[in-house]
């Protein structure tokens, strides 16, 4: 007979620094090593402005997520919030956009890994990374707080080395000779770049989900969100702006591995393998976590009947949803083989922006007796997500709209079939 006790729940052992480290570790991954090149193509010298816009929208999303998590402590994120606050369809679309967006994220992370580790063999190496990390996730490997902190230290060390290389390149002094930010690239240029850079901020919601694991969550979580997002925003501004100055817009746009190019411009060829190893560690850590998270969400949606129930079929002594794992890995492999890094980043950003638009809309429905944020936060987050999503490259917006419509159609068909069964 099993008895419940206080020890059966999660221990509230994490402080503000721990929670902030987890949030920063969730954000600092493949994005910082890959997103600035495609973003610079749209924003040009206005890249720092695009980074600030993306950071502001991310902050609004994080606050809305934290307030909703306090009211809905169960796992599922906007899949739960949307169903509870807006209706079943919106919750379903949140889960749908999460799954398709994160699948694109997996492809982007795998391609980033391959680009830095073995250029010229990107697609086969990326496919191998997906297969191996799926197998690792199947074995039940999880990222503990210690592992998250270790990966964060590795990434920060690599980025610190890159900043040192920027200073040694002698190119930063040239910024004093620049007259302004150059020609205005247009609103869609800056906002489209901000939408892409949003890809590098996703992960901050990990802090909002720590309500049962932190001490004094009502104060710790808001502080951790501000610290993690503020710190990551500062890092992106320094690294993104420095990369733009050192390489210049044209070379940055053409670069497949910008951070390695920065090191080479500084004449530090010996440091190239160190940067590649650091990027590999960051990407593989992010990839296994992404694959595990998508698998769990897919299995949960299948259990609810929103996806084929076979995807929730468990195998092995650990009850792993192996069919969902295999399906997710297969789709990611197809994306790796038939899309490029920019396309994967853009589509991932589109899915994430739709997901957080539903999150902010759900936060707007919080009542006065609930911990609702100031009206400007969810409203700004909702408008920001919609605007950034619509400012992404037109083919991505078109494909994204078709994918969302397909998801809505599947939901409608399921509802009609369920109604007939009940009748």
Ordered mean pLDDT values, 10 residues apiece, the chain (423 residues): 40 68 79 90 90 94 85 75 89 90 92 91 92 75 62 86 85 55 67 93 71 66 82 92 88 90 89 90 83 80 79 70 86 92 92 94 88 90 96 93 92 80 65
Q: Which residues are CB-neighbours of 23 under 8 A, at least 6 positions away?
A: 203, 204, 206, 207, 224, 225, 227, 228, 229
Return the biggest CA–CA distance within the chain: 75
Tell me the CA distances in angstroms from 387 to 187, 307, 416, one per residue in order: 10, 29, 33
**Nearest C-alpha neighbor of 199 from the set 45, 9, 342, 48:** 342
Question: So what's the pLDDT on residue 371?
Answer: 80
**Rg of the chain, C-alpha, whole Å:** 21
What pTM does this model have? 0.87
Q: Can you say whether residue 300 is alpha, beta or left, with left for phi > 0 and alpha for psi between -120 and 50 degrees?
A: alpha
**Nearest C-alpha neighbor of 400 from the set 358, 353, 360, 357:** 353
Question: So what's the pLDDT on residue 4?
Answer: 39
Residue ranges of domains in the chain, CATH in brackets: 14-173+181-364+374-415 (1.20.1740.10)
């Amino acid at each position: 007979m099993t008895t419940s006790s206080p020890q059966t729940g999660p221990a509230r052992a994490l402080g503000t620094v721990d929670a902030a480290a987890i949030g920063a570790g969730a954000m600092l991954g493949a994005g910082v090593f890959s997103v600035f090149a495609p973003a610079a193509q749209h924003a040009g010298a206005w890249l720092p402005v695009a980074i600030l816009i993306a950071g502001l929208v991310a902050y609004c999303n994080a606050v809305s997520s934290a307030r909703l998590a306090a009211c809905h402590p169960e796992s599922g994120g906007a899949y739960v919030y949307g169903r509870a606050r807006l209706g079943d369809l919106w919750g379903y679309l949140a889960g749908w956009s999460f799954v398709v967006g994160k699948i694109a994220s997996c492809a982007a992370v795998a391609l980033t890994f391959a680009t830095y580790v073995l250029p010229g063999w990107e697609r086969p190496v990326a496919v191998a990374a997906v297969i191996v990390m799926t197998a690792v996730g199947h074995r039940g490997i999880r990222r503990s707080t210690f592992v998250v902190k270790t990966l964060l230290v590795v990434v920060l060390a690599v980025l610190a080395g890159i900043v040192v290389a920027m200073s040694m390149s002698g190119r930063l002094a040239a910024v004093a000779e620049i007259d302004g930010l150059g020609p205005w690239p247009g609103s869609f240029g800056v906002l489209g770049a901000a939408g892409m850079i949003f890809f590098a901020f996703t992960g901050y919601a990990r802090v909002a989900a720590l309500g049962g694991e932190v001490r004094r969550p009502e104060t710790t979580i808001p502080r951790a969100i501000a610290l993690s997002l503020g710190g990551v925003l500062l890092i992106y501004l320094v690294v993104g702006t420095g990369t733009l100055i050192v390489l210049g817009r044209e070379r940055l746009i053409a670069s497949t591995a910008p951070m390695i190019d920065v090191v080479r411009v500084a004449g530090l060829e010996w440091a190239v393998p160190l940067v590649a190893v650091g990027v590999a560690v960051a990407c593989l850590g992010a990839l296994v976590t992404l694959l595990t998270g998508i698998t769990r969400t897919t299995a949960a949606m299948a259990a609810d009947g929103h996806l084929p129930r076979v995807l929730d079929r468990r195998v092995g002594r650990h009850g792993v949803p192996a069919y969902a794992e295999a399906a997710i890995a297969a789709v990611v492999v197809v994306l790796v083989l038939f899309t490029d890094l920019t396309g994967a980043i853009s589509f991932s950003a589109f899915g994430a922006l739709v997901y957080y638009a539903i999150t902010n809309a759900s936060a707007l429905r919080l009542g006065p007796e609930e911990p609702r944020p100031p009206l400007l936060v969810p409203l700004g987050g909702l408008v920001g997500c919609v605007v950034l999503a619509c400012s992404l490259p037109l083919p991505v917006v078109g494909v994204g709209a078709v994918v969302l419509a397909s998801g809505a159609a599947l939901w409608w068909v399921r509802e009609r079939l369920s109604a007939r069964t009940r009748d």
